[in-house]
Structure formats: C-alpha cells, structure tokens
Structure 1
C-alpha cells in the first residue's frame, strides 16, 4: 500500500508541468474574458481590485537566510517535538540526498555477530550502499568489532603470559582484523571523497536557491503581462525543485524564506482570482491525498515503517507543494497533524516495547556478570579445576555478547561492569598460573636430573644393578608434577629415548637364546618324556616326596628360551596328572601345583608376572569375602525358621565352601610373598 500511494503522489509530481500548462491556458482564457490584462506601463497597485493590500517594496522582508526562521503560513506549534523531529530528519536528507536511503538499509543485530561476520557485513555495505547512508551502520559495526577483537587480544595475551612469555613481547594479529581494516579504510576513503565533492555542491546549490528567492522577490510589482509573470513563477518553482541539496543548517530558513515569497506572489495574483484559485485547488487536491495516505499509515501495524513514510509525506508537503486557500490552510494542517500524532504515538508504544526487551536483556547480562563474579571468588586448587572455570567463563562471555541490546543509558556502565568481572577472574587466573609456574620449574629441574641418570646408564651392561635403578626413576618420573608446556614434550622425548635404549638392550639379550637355554630345553624335553613312565609309590606321603623331587630336578635344568617356554606348561599338566593319582586333599594338591606355577612365573630380572599374579589373588580374596558377607546377610532374613530348612542348609553349605576357598586363596597369597 505504501508504495502504491507514494507512486500516485509521484505521478502528481511528474505531471506538474502538464498541470501548470492547464492553469496557464485557463488563465489566458480568463484574462481575455474579463479584459484584465496588464500592459507594460500599468502597475499592479493601480489595477488590483483585491481588498488585501499588496505589500510595497519598503515593507517586504529581506530574503537573506538568518538564524531566525521566517514565519510559515502553516500553523506549526513552536514546541511540537514530533514535527521538529521530522523537519530535522528531512533537513538532514536535504543536505545529502543519499541520506534518505539510510531508512531502507536493514539494521542487523551486530552485537550477536562474530568477527568474521562483522567484517563481511562491512564489506557488503561499503561495496553496495551509498557511503552517506551507512554511517550509523558502520559506526555500530566498528564499535562491536573493536570490543570483540580487544576481548580476543586479552585472551591471547593471557595465554601468552601463562606460557611463560613476557608481556612486552606480546603481539597478535589475525586475517580477519586485516580484512576489517581494509574495508574500513575503503569506507573512510569514500566518505572523504564524497564530502569533499558534496561541500562544493552544497555551497553552489545554496547560492542558486538564494538567487531563485531573489527572482521570486522581483516578480512582485513587475510591469509585464501577468501570464508571462505567472509562467516565469512556475519556472522558478521547477528550478527550486530541481536544485540539489543545501547545507542542513540553512535548510529550514531557506525553505521558509522561499515559501514566504511564494505566498506573497499568490497575494499579488489577487488581481486574477481564477488563476490563483486554480493553483490553490491543485495544491489542495495533492495535500488531501497526502493526508489520506497519512491517515492510512496511522492504521498500519508497522509503526517504524509508517513513521519513515510519514517523513517523506512531510517533505513532499513542504518542498513540492504550494499554499492552498486561506480558509483551508488551518483545517488541512490540523488534520495532517492529527494523523502525524497518531503515527508517532504508535512509534512511542513501539519504543516502550523495545525498552521492555532491552530491560530483559539487561537482566540477562546482569545475571551473567553476577555468575562471572561468583566464579572469580572461588578458590583455584588445581589446573584441571581452573580449566573448567575458564570454559565456564568463556561460555558466559559468549552468552553476554548474544544477550542483545540494553537501554542506551546503561550500556556503557553494563559493559564496564562486565569487563571488570572478566578482568577480576583473569587476574586470579594469572596469579594461580604464576605460582604454578614456579612449581613447574622446580619439577622441570627434578625431571632433568632423572634424565641425566637415564642417559648416564643407558649403555650399561650391569643389568642386574641398573634394571632396578631404571625402574625406580621411571616410577619417580610419574610422581613429579607438571612442567612448563614448552618443555614438556622435549624432556619427555629425551627421557623416553634413554629408557627405551636401555630396555631394548635388556629385551634383546633376554630374547636371544643362549647355548645353555637351548641345552636346558633339550634336557627338559627328555625329562618330560621320562615322566610318562614314572610309577609313584603307593604310599601317599612317599608319592608326594617323589613328585616334589621331580619338580626340583626340573627347576635345576635351568631356563629355556622365551619361545620354548610352552614346555613348562606341559610339565605342569604332567604334575597335575600325577597328583590326581595320589588322591590328595584338595588344598594340599592345589598348593603343590601352585608352587610349581610360581616357579615358572618367577624371573629375577622382571617381576611383572608375579605382580600380576599377586594382584589377581588379592582380587579373588576380596570377591570371596564379599560373597561370604552377602550370604551371612541373607541368613538374617530367615527368622523363626528351622535349621533343617533346605534353604537355610543350602546357605550354610555355600558359606562353608566359600570359607574353604578363602583359606586356599590366602595360602596362595602367603606363598607368593616368599618370592619377593
């Protein structure tokens, strides 16, 4: 609807020339019919039949533009803030015609954009929009970019200092910063070029409009044909409309002076009422169209869009249309003002709603600030705990930036409070890491000492002495805390390299089958074959002694190569078979088997197999104890139940079995301790 009405109004503007021709033709006919035609020697005063007195030259006000505006024919209230606001905005547009395009450019939520998005938006505005129309957009984007980039620099600086860097050596730049600077530099260049050119045009246009006012002033009392004078008047009006922008501070006074002299010319036309009344009628029709459109806009739900179009209507009313008959002036102006007030009232309601949203955003941001302050008061006990807080604060910072705008009156104070909260957290964080750095440098020296031990002994052949030493320094390394990040990887590689060099040599020797190990394997293989024909004494005790003797002989044959150790498993199975034939008590048989197993696991150079076995035994002991406790607890549920009850008897049986099992596991644990 807005575009349709404004288009119709623009059609009127485009038809001004045709309308003027119509008025002039009517004027000619009227002049001929009434025989009122001025000759060159006849003055206006002597032929005027209008009761209104035509001002003489001595009472005519000077058209020089001063700080005091010339009184307009429209009854404008002196303190009407809405009208003043609209006129000020139109004056701004009048200074630079490109300014009116600022209303058409979408105002985005710049405070929620990332650095890269802000840079892209600035590039788009500078490349696609008129430079004079994007000032407020660019200012907002520039402010947001500076704020967020400074925040990023603060973070990078803290990381740099925490990594051991010196504050005076810190420097940071990024591609997005360079991209933004290039776009902003291009904007400033275009602004300078535009206003340098505009300044000259404004001065020339002002001069041209003052000349038009002077010519208007000279039309009164001119001794020439009225039709010629009227045609000259219409030409001056067209020149005024086509003259470009003038300085903003001269706009209202220039227009008031121009309009004053236009009205004086119409008073001069009193000698030909029909000619003047046709023009008045023409202006009235167009002003009524403007009023109707304003009244339609007053019903529009989009208050801001309506107000922007209202500004255009006021501009057309003031700049492009002449006066109307005096009996209509006050009425139509009052009607226009009523519609203007309605639109403005809706705009004020819109602002109040926006203010409510801004207030809610303020509450969110204040809550975020309080949370950051709360985190800042908490004591930092560990690196991991502090890292968690850093992530929390970073999330809160992001939430702060995305919370939306707050009322302008508290914007700076809110931002300052937010920065203070973040800085307070950062100071405590930096203090923690400075203290941590001292400990880390102590740890660094301790680890360097261990590296020296490892590197000094990595080539030693005294495996029996050095192996326990190397294991000890590996254990000590794990107990030492963190070192500075920049040294961590480097010293770990040195330590690992020295330890690996030593243990590679140990493993290489262990994996190399010596002649003795090969001979031991061959002997064990023959011994294992001989056991197949072994007959045990019928006496159980003597049979046990015989088996233990076989085990001793087996162990005396020595170690076999690692890839031949499967033969120990075969021997274990043979012994198990012999023990089963003796019909021994379960516990006794298990312990004889277990001693043999431990003999196979034992390695003076490496206790890992025994360690694993001991851990397994302890785990089994804990499991059995847990099962016994559970069964005993279950018995408590059998109240007033006979002991001969099958369920009760089953629980007691299971408890007995588990206790026997526990006794066996404890015996195995005691046996394994003798190997250390």
Structure 2
C-alpha cells in the first residue's frame, strides 16, 4: 500500500511538469500559426480600387463566411480587409463631401443650409464593414461564453471527481461498487475530454487539479491498481502510435516542402496526445521527449522555411529596387525623335519584363510602397510618350496642310506654261520649303509626295526641253573663257608688260562672257583665279597689300557675276579669325600698359606696346575693309 501511494505521488509530480510543458508548447504553436497566416496575407493597394470593387471584396468575404461557416481565420481575414479599406473609405467620404460642398458654395455663395448624403456604394461599404465587425464581435463573445461554460463544466467535473474520491474512502469495497465507481470515473474522464478550452489563467490550475485527483483516485483504489497499470500501458501504446505519426510527418519532409497542412495535422496529433492519460512512469518522460523531438523538428523546419522565405523576400525586394532605380531617369526623358522614343520604350519594357519575371513576394510594407512607386514611374514615362505622339500627330496634320498648299502652288506655276527664271526660282523655293517641313500622317506620306514630285518634275521637264539651245551657248562660252585664261597665263609670263590696266581689261572681257555648263563651272573658275593670282604676282610695281587687294577684288567680281562664293566664304572665315586675334591682342596690350610703373624702363616698354597696338590697329582696319568687300559680295 505504501509503495503504491509513493508511486502515485511521483506520478502526480511528473504529470504536473508534463502538463505545464504541454500548455507552454500549445501557446507557442498558436503563435507560430498566427505569424504564418500574417506572412501569407496578400498585398493589395486598395486606394487604386473603385467603390464597386471595394463593395465586391467585402461581399465576397461575407459570402465566404456564410458558405463555410464562422471560422477564426475567415473572420480575421475579413476584419483585416475592412480595417485596411477604412482609411480608403474615409478619404473617399472626405473627397465626395468636399466636392459637394464646393459645388453647393459655388451655387449658393455660402455653406449655410448645406446637407450631404453619401452615395449608395459608400453607404454599402460602411454597412458591410460594420456587419463584418459585428460578426467578429459576436463570434468572440460566443467563444468567451463557451469558455465560461466550459470552465463551469470542468469545475463541476472536478467536484464530481472529489465526491467520487470521498465516497471511495468511506464505503465498503465490493465488485458492484468498484464497477459503479469505475464507470463513473471513466464517464468523468470522457466528459472532461469532451469539454472545450477555457480561459488561459485557469487552464493550468484546472489541469493540475484534475491530474492530482486522478492520481489520488488510482492511489486510493488498491483493488484497481492493476487496472490502472493496464490503462497506463494502453496509454503508452497509444502515445507511441502518435509519436510514430509525427515522426512519419518529419520523414515526409524529405520528399515534400513544409506546408500549413503538415502543421495542422501535427497539431491535431498533439491534441490527441494531450488528452491521453499517463503512461507508466518509466516510459512517460521518454515518450514525451520522443514526441517533442519530432514536433520540434517540424517547427524547426517551419522556422527555417520562414527564415529562408524572409531572405528570399529581401533578395527579391533588392532586385526590384534596382529595377525601379534604373527606370527613374526615364520619367524625365524627352526627345523629338520617334525612333529614339521607340528605343527608350524597348528599354523600359525590358525593365518591366524583368520586374514581372520576379515572381516571389517582398516584405509587406516595403514591397507595397516599392510596387506603387514602380508602376507610377512607368505610368509617367508612357504619359510623356503619349503626349509626344499627340503633339506629333497634331504637327503632322499641320505639315499636311502646308504640303498641300505647296502642291497647289507648284501646280499653279506649272499651269502658266512659263519656265522663266522667276518661276524656276519659285519652284526651287517650294522644294526648299518642302524639305524644311516635317513628316505628314503615315497614310498620306506617299500620295502627297508623289503629287508634289510630279508637279516639280513636269516643270523641269518642260524647262529642259527649252534649254537645249542654251546649253550650246554655254559650251561656246566655255571655249571663250578657256581662251581668255590661256591669254592671261601667257601675259603673266611677261612681267615687263603686266599692269593693272591690262588686268582690268581681262576682267571686263571675262564679265562679258556668259555662263558655262554647270559641270565645268568650278574648274573654270578655279583656273581663272589661279591665272589672275599669277598675273597679279607678275606686276612688279605693286606692294603685297595691293596684290592681295587686287586678287580679292577679282574673286568678289566673280561672285557678283553669279559664280560660286565658296572660296569667299572660306576667306571670310579666315579674315574673321585674324580680326578676332588682333582685337584680343590689342585688348591685352592695352591692359598691360596700365600696369607699367613710372620709370625709364617702363616708358620704353610702354612705347614698344604702343607701337604694337598702332601696327595692329592698322592691320585691323585693312582686314575689316576686306571683310566688308567680301560680305557685300556674298
């Protein structure tokens, strides 16, 4: 008897410790599951949704609750949705009311008498949100009431168990009484097992009292000691089976990833384990440690998966951040070229494809903000591009009108049948204007060009037909000019007979000869200038400045006679460069004079710089004179 009582006390202490461990682990498991549900919550920007879409979201959540029953996860999800929609709804209300007030003040002139009623969709969102909160409150109130009821039930069961123990100690033991007592005891156990959860502050106390009373019951009933041992043996077998189930779940992780379903199944097995009675004391702790090791392995895998998931989420965020930073400069891009816009669009679309290809999730708040900024940046780029093409299309319509007018002008000139120089110049000017005008709408591009080209080609074909006689005259002029050039070259070889008067005669004769064929114009002009330069060099009485003046005048006369002005342009640029250099030198020297001190040495230096300035100014006047001659000619 003493040995059995001692065994009961040890069993009582061991099971108290085991139960506390179980309660602690249960809290940890619930916390883990809550964190998991929060991690997997979808990421939606509700401010981008319409009122109708918000109503549909809330109605869908209520429909899901009504179809699947009131469950904590569904209520929590629906209530979280309503909570996130609330600031969006407040903003909508404020915007609608301010718009209505603004319109009222615009009509009446003041805010007096203003009344406002929100539209049906806004009221619907409000009503659905309140209904969700009501369902949540009702559910948790019912849960609390159920816990209170369970507390009462379990307190009553403990009292019945105490009464049973007291009866065991006062009445005689017989087969009938032992059977009745045992049946009542098993009934109390079944009812305790069937009773639900209670408020956590009382849970540990009730479990400790329950296990203590059970131990006392078995300890006080010596006749049932063997039955108790058999029951513990059976519990040990059942707990071993539950250990195997959890171990099988652990083993399954070798071929599949960790999921919520695996955790839910392990939690269910854990509930079964909790409600089983004690095993033999020599196996009780071993079984529990075996079960706990397997369960810990599952949750270690889950925590490792969470850590890996967070790492993956951060890596995904970092990659998307780089993509966002890469497209930010595109928001300020601007160009007048379609080709360049299309090239930039390809670059932007490539970044968008990279973004979409990254399928993993990001940290909730940071990812939400980054996504918002990324799509806003894309929107800005395509808005700018659309604005460019809208302006381009408008400009092309204007260009079409301008080119239609040019076609009409060219056709009007062609209709006169006159191919004089004035009309030819007009056609040439129309062609220049055509080139200066930009593109027209694509569908008119070929037709408008063909129309203009046809009018211009017809005019010049008509002109060419009349110019065959002129070409013969140009060939004769070419022969005369070549003959004149050869005479100038021969005259240049006789330096004694070279004079400015003879040069003037050569120039007069050159001016009297008409145009030469266009293909020979440049070569003839170049040879003539060379001959004149040689002739001027042969005039011995002229200074170098007079020779340079004579050559310049010859080139100017050529331009006035309608020859190419390309050489004069080059000479003009050269003179401008020299003028600029002289002006800079004069300015520098004048500044330097200001720094000379009053001394004999400084006076000499000052005199030297003044001579330089005087000489440079004379050169500057001469160059400016040459420049004016050239600019007057061209």
Structure (1 or 2) with the greater helix fraction: 2
Question: Quick one: higher RCO (CA 8 Å, sep 6+), 1 or 2?
Answer: 1
Q: With structure 1 as the length reference, what TM-score do the two structures score?
A: 0.43
Q: With structure 2 as the length reference, what TM-score do the two structures score?
A: 0.46
